[in-house]
Structure 1
Amino acid sequence: MPLQPRPITLSLRQTCLYYACRSRLSPLAGVQPRHQQFSGSAYRFETAKAADAAVPLRKQLKEEAKQRKKSAKSAKSPGNNAADPLLDKWELTVGIEVHAELNTAHKLFSTAQTSLNAEPNEHVARFDAALPGAQPAFQKATLIPALRAALAMDCDIQSRSSWDRKHYFYQDQPNGYQITQYYAEPFARSGSLTLTLEDGIDPNDLSEPGATGLTIGIKQIQMEQDTAKTALQPPSTYLLDFNRVSHPLIEIITLPQIHSPATAAATVRKIQSLLKSVDSCVAGMEMGGLRADVNVSVRKRGSTGDNNEYSGVKGLGTRTEIKNLSSFKAVEDAVTAERDRQIKVLEAGGVIEGETRGWTIGSTETTRLRSKEGEVDYRYMPDPDLPPVLISSELVNHLRKTLPELPDSTISRTLNDFGLSMKDAKTLFSFDDGERLEYCAETIDLVSKKISAQGLNDDQNQAKVGKLVANWVLHELGGLLTSDGREWSDLTITTEELASLLANLMSKQITARVGKQILQQLYDEDSDDRISVDARIDEGNLRLRPISREEYIELAQSIMDENPDMVSAVRDKGQKGKTMWFVGQMVRRAEEGTVEAEKAKEIIEELLFP
């Protein structure tokens, strides 16, 4: 009787040891055994420069926010359907497969290090290179971030999961097969994601009038090994970097319940946010730690499609798969292009072929790569060298209890505790892995304490604190950083300094204009040489010295008399937005620290609209 491999069981004690190690060591730390090193002429492994530089996360988020706003405006436009009546005739269906690189110290089946910045072929074990006789050894710790990801998406954790070999022959797969959990027993099934309008979904995807969100099902999450990195050296040389071979991945497979390009991009964005929040994946799409494949099909609305079945859903149109999309914008643009291509083919009487297609940034059409392989072509078989993985309920319960706060919970708490708008809360959370939100929360707490000490902590003032701080963190600090291309990590203004500034502003000790001047000074000066905010205000004689109501009226009337055309534009033409022009003139003409913008606006409106 042949020997049966022993099951691998991950205990609670091993999990705790893993966490203890993670608290002391970086993901790349630890003593590593000696591995076979590959270099030189044997495989022509050389360093290849990246074709495209990584886009800064802050710039990418701004671009995506602009795209979401544009999509929402287009969807609400009365003439939207008239502009493209074919979208009323055809229904788009999208399913997504997200491949995320797990945050682990070691590879999935070897003790070689995982590293994004190592020299090519620096961390390669014998199994990674498929040397004769080398066998996989499952690294139990790699399961921990995978389980946290599955729990964040409300999946059912399977007590038993197993490994399959997916056979295909390509230069980036040295063994001739990939070890995965797809075919038989993945470790997680039946999860879900909830997305709202604030996540950037298409409003037309909401099932009922008045609904604020929709749920996308997760069919399963599986573990699998990554392939080598291939770099083309024109005209015909391919360089292989085996560092990435056997990096632990999870593949997240959604159900085909997405019906617009914007919602497809929002789904990937939501997945990335969840993975980062539970520390399962530290590098997002902008750094190559997350890649998405999208399956796209169209059918006539109200029809039963081609009687094809995809992920348990019958009657969808023939699907095509677009591989390796590396940004949220690429997901949205590729889905849009493929939807339009399929509609065009079907409208002309053609037939959609099941195939794999590619997408290039800046293109308007997807391109054919190869015919779509079915599961039979991959010749799945159980891996004879790897035993099943057994996961105890005790471990799952422990991970569920210790799971970090999820983004939706953080944003909800922020709304309740600080009185921020949904837009501000989402934006603060999105920037800088939540660091800006933490900075904002600490500043709000400090401002509240300062105004309370001054006897100003009534309900009305307290309600203003959160909005005021969020506005200054997002727009004033954000604007300073953007102006010279610096990152949030470069900011030296402390929460104490910003809180002192805003407490003086709320207590009407300074004007907003003076506050912005002081903020600029703090930003420009070295942190070691700065004096306190209060000392700066006193030394510069910047405290507010309000003028009388009569002086406000006299100043406002003189400006109105000098600018009759502006007065006529506001009074006669209804251009009320120009009211603030008068306010700006009053602040500029008056002595520094004597005119409040709010009071000036009130006086101007009284005079313009008696």
Structure 2
Amino acid sequence: MPQIRPAALSKYLLRGQLVSRRCLRTQSRIQASPVTASTASLVRYLHTATATGEPPSNEPAPIHVPLRKQLKDEAKKQKESGTKKKKNVDNQVVDGWELTVGIEIHAQLNTEKKLFSDAATSFNDDPNTHVAYFDLATPGSQPIFQKAALVPALRAALALNCDIQLVSRFDRKHYFHWDQPSGYQITQYYEPFARDGHLRLRSRDGIAAEDGEGVSIGIKQIQMEQDTAKTVAQPGDVHWIDFNRVGMPLIEIITHPEFHHPATAAAFVRKVQTLLDAVDACVSGMEAGGLRADVNVSVRRTDDPNAPLGQRTEIKNLSSFKAVEDAIIAERDRQIAVLEAGGTIAGETRGWSIGSTETRRLRGKEGEVDYRYMPDPDIPPLFIGLDLIGHMWDTLGMLPDDVLDTLIQEFDVSPKDAMSLVSLDEGKRLEYFLTIVDFLMAQYSDDIDFEYYQHTVNWILHELPRLTAERSDEPAQDLGFTTDGECLRMPARHFADIMIHLFNGEINTRVAKELLWFVFRGRVPGEYPTVLDAIAGEDLWFRELSMDEYEALADTALQGQDDILRHFIDVLIFPRGKLMFLVGRMIRIGPEERIDPNTAESVLRRKIRDDYAPNLKIRDNRAARLLEEKDSGRLCSGSGTA
């Protein structure tokens, strides 16, 4: 790394108060000041300085443009140029090029204390209220490894099928930045605690179609390391630093470069988050900032299978699954464009913003030699006993893939809904479903219709969340799912009763939704002890229309709908959307509380097939013949006149 002259250092160290002669001391009292954008640019300069040590030129700070305006401007440009952005599902490969991606995932461990101090882990507390002397690199303070951090780290490594190393060590990774007071990060570069894992991805995980039914991704290693401080941007190019996050325990999951499609990379990150949640290793997901992903992207031509991998670039701190996929696609396309134009790819670190269409350069990519890795002399080796590993494995429980297989194979739940059920509310909603299943099994014994399970999942995933968003005084309130399979605002017993009455045809869907509100608002078990009492007390029993009434209502709904009915002429399968439009029209015209949508649909199908479509075809054919005869007569009359 080139040596930097004191003249350059003095421009950012200690706000220009650096003395280049004798020892470091201040010429006058140093006034604390916030970190500014100019400071940030000089820090980037330190990582990429040339041998001359000259600082970069001062550029005017960019004008902040709101994200909404950026997206509107981008859409406007695309519309004017006549180009339309490809959907990601159709943009997984580029002919003649091979994409290669490796991923590094940083996840915050679920612990009460930091990794090397007894300061409490903090997420929503006031800034700089949980900071120990070692967190601030106070001279004389020493790191003390908190053994409790090993428990969630081991659970994560076992869930990812890694080999646990009985002896591991900590290293120092040197770099200077305002979010790292000590000037180095403690990590496990040379001897991590876990190696050689793998994770199997299946089509239901959302991988690219080009990867077929599944793909296995190798995990090089998992290492423990400490987090940095949190930088909070303020108006006017001012940044505040919250040291509550310094020293927070992280694991870094490093994969082999085995991804070749962007959607598969995003699916991997999503599945890792689900796994970490399932084994209680990670405190929060990407949406809450507890998990961040860096991706390394390179491309090479496919005409030479023996060619080495292309020069890689790293995209830092991706904070959503969609960002992972979008950023990889954008960087792949950028590199291909550069190479096809005869240019070369520079090894560098790049950034990505939500809504962007291209990555942006942050700084030159540091190599391993730049970080000057060295064993940490203050932290002894970490010894992990076989008995601890065995205990962690025995208490790991069912992993998400096993749960998904059970839901899909034993309960006939769709893969998409099964994924949602497993991932929502840290598995609490899944436990709620299983509690309701117990009530359904007790009611129906061995005669239960497997469709009931899928219908129950639909209501849990879609109808329950509407209670907190529609007609609610408190849109942000929580339903209150618990770890023992209950729901504070919608007890499983009452929910199961509503489903049972619905499945038995004793109430219709509209009434079932109203009964959910009865329970949610506390009218059950307040005003009415049970759901059955509420149905009887409000006279909500389903009294279905007779078949004659259904047919008369269908005739009314079909009147004046010739344009719609023409879509049903001479077709083997009725167009579903058009048919549901007519069913909805039938429900709107008639007494909704007495109509079963399934019966209404069957009556409409029969009447359209037997009466309306054939008659409309006959009328259309007759009108076509009359028109043809009329045109033919005009033609003959015109010829005679001539």
Q: TM-score, structure 2 length as denominator?
A: 0.76
The partner residue of 1:493 within 480, 490, 493 is: 490
* Cα separation, 2, equivalents of 1:347 and 1:565: 53
Correspondence for 2:607:
607
* Cα separation, 2, equivalents of 1:71 and 1:479: 30
Q: Does the 8 Å contact 1:193/1:217 carry over to 2?
A: yes
Is residue 377 of structure 1 aligned with residue 370 of structure 2? yes
Shift of 1:588: 4.5
Is residue 462 of structure 1 aligned with residue 459 of structure 2? no
- Evaluate the alpha carbon distance shift between residue 176 and residue 203 of structure 1 in structure 2; reply closer, same or farther with a 3 A threshold: same
SS at match of 2:443: helix
The partner residue of 1:186 within 192, 195, 208 is: 192
Q: Does the 8 Å contact 1:444/1:465 carry over to 2?
A: no
Q: Does the 8 Å contact 1:99/1:251 carry over to 2?
A: yes
Is residue 91 of structure 1 aligned with residue 90 of structure 2? no
The range that moved more, 355-364 or 580-589, is 580-589
Residue type of the partner of 2:509?
A
- Evaluate the alpha carbon distance shift between residue 284 and residue 45 of structure 1 in structure 2; reply closer, same or farther with a 3 A threshold: farther
Gaps of 5+ in 2: 1-29, 36-63, 65-85, 481-487, 611-642
Q: Does the 8 Å contact 1:545/1:594 carry over to 2?
A: yes
SS at match of 2:293: strand
- Evaluate the alpha carbon distance shift between residue 462 and residue 383 of structure 1 in structure 2; reply closer, same or farther with a 3 A threshold: same
Shift of 1:198: 1.8
* Cα separation, 2, equivalents of 1:361 and 1:560: 48
Q: Does the 8 Å contact 2:152/2:281 carry over to 1?
A: yes
Residue type of the partner of 2:398?
E
Is residue 429 of structure 1 aligned with residue 422 of structure 2? yes
Q: Does the 8 Å contact 1:104/1:141 carry over to 2?
A: yes
Shift of 1:250: 0.7
The partner residue of 1:506 within 495, 503, 508 is: 503
Q: Deviations over 1:137-173 (max 9, x none)?
A: 1111111111110000000000110111111222222
Q: Does the 8 Å contact 1:45/1:241 carry over to 2?
A: no
* Cα separation, 1, equivalents of 2:138 and 2:401: 46
Matches within 5 A, 1:243-262: 243-262=244-263
- Evaluate the alpha carbon distance shift between residue 139 and residue 556 of structure 1 in structure 2; reply closer, same or farther with a 3 A threshold: same
Residue type of the partner of 1:199?
D
RMSD of aligned residue pairs (Cα, Å): 2.8
SS at match of 2:449: helix
Shift of 1:521: 4.2
Correspondence for 1:352:
345
Matches within 5 A, 1:6-155: 71-72=88-89, 74=90, 87-155=94-162
Q: Does the 8 Å contact 1:151/1:400 carry over to 2?
A: yes
Correspondence for 2:264:
263
Q: Does the 8 Å contact 1:222/1:250 carry over to 2?
A: yes
Aligned residues: 521
Q: Does the 8 Å contact 1:305/1:317 carry over to 2?
A: no
Q: Does the 8 Å contact 1:195/1:201 carry over to 2?
A: yes
Shift of 1:576: 5.4
The partner residue of 1:198 within 191, 201, 204 is: 204
Q: Does the 8 Å contact 1:109/1:139 carry over to 2?
A: yes
Shift of 1:591: 4.7
Shift of 1:108: 1.1
Correspondence for 1:534:
532
Correspondence for 2:405:
412
* Cα separation, 2, equivalents of 1:381 and 1:137: 18
Shift of 1:284: 1.1
Q: Deviations over 1:38-81 (max 9, x none)?
A: xxx985689xxxx9xxxxxxxxxxxxxxxxx9644x36xxxx97
* Cα separation, 2, equivalents of 1:237 and 1:515: 54
Q: Deviations over 1:109-137 (max 9, x none)?
A: 11111111222221221211111111111
Structure of greater relative contact order (alpha carbons < 8 Å, 6+ residues apart): 1
Shift of 1:495: 1.6
- Evaluate the alpha carbon distance shift between residue 167 and residue 570 of structure 1 in structure 2; reply closer, same or farther with a 3 A threshold: same
Give the structure with higher Rg (CA): 2
Q: Does the 8 Å contact 1:158/1:186 carry over to 2?
A: yes
SS at match of 2:405: helix
- Evaluate the alpha carbon distance shift between residue 368 and residue 580 of structure 1 in structure 2; reply closer, same or farther with a 3 A threshold: closer
Matches within 5 A, 1:151-550: 151-182=158-189, 184-206=190-212, 212-303=213-304, 315-452=308-445, 457-458=446-447, 461-483=448-470, 485-486=475-476, 488-489=478-479, 492-524=489-521, 529-531=526-528, 532-550=530-548
Shift of 1:333: 1.6
The range that moved more, 369-378 or 513-522, is 513-522
Shift of 1:319: 0.5
Q: Does the 8 Å contact 1:189/1:221 carry over to 2?
A: yes
* Cα separation, 1, equivalents of 2:116 and 2:198: 29
* Cα separation, 2, equivalents of 1:70 and 1:340: 14
* Cα separation, 2, equivalents of 1:607 and 1:235: 70
Q: Does the 8 Å contact 2:273/2:285 carry over to 1?
A: yes
Shift of 1:581: 3.8
Shift of 1:517: 3.3
Residue type of the partner of 2:179?
D
- Evaluate the alpha carbon distance shift between residue 281 and residue 575 of structure 1 in structure 2; reply closer, same or farther with a 3 A threshold: closer
Q: Deviations over 1:16-59 (max 9, x none)?
A: xxxxxxxxxxxxxxxxxxxxxxxxx985689xxxx9xxxxxxxx
The range that moved more, 261-270 or 431-440, is 431-440
- Evaluate the alpha carbon distance shift between residue 594 and residue 225 of structure 1 in structure 2; reply closer, same or farther with a 3 A threshold: closer
- Evaluate the alpha carbon distance shift between residue 584 and residue 348 of structure 1 in structure 2; reply closer, same or farther with a 3 A threshold: closer
Correspondence for 2:625:
none
Shift of 1:477: 2.2
The range that moved more, 476-485 or 491-500, is 476-485
Shift of 1:545: 2.8
- Evaluate the alpha carbon distance shift between residue 528 and residue 384 of structure 1 in structure 2; reply closer, same or farther with a 3 A threshold: same
- Evaluate the alpha carbon distance shift between residue 330 and residue 560 of structure 1 in structure 2; reply closer, same or farther with a 3 A threshold: closer
- Evaluate the alpha carbon distance shift between residue 512 and residue 238 of structure 1 in structure 2; reply closer, same or farther with a 3 A threshold: closer
Residue type of the partner of 2:192?
P
Shift of 1:95: 0.4
* Cα separation, 2, equivalents of 1:550 and 1:561: 17
* Cα separation, 2, equivalents of 1:140 and 1:278: 18
Q: Deviations over 1:314-368 (max 9, x none)?
A: x210001111111212211211111111101100001111111122222222122
Residue type of the partner of 1:191?
G
Residue type of the partner of 2:479?
S
Shift of 1:304: 5.4
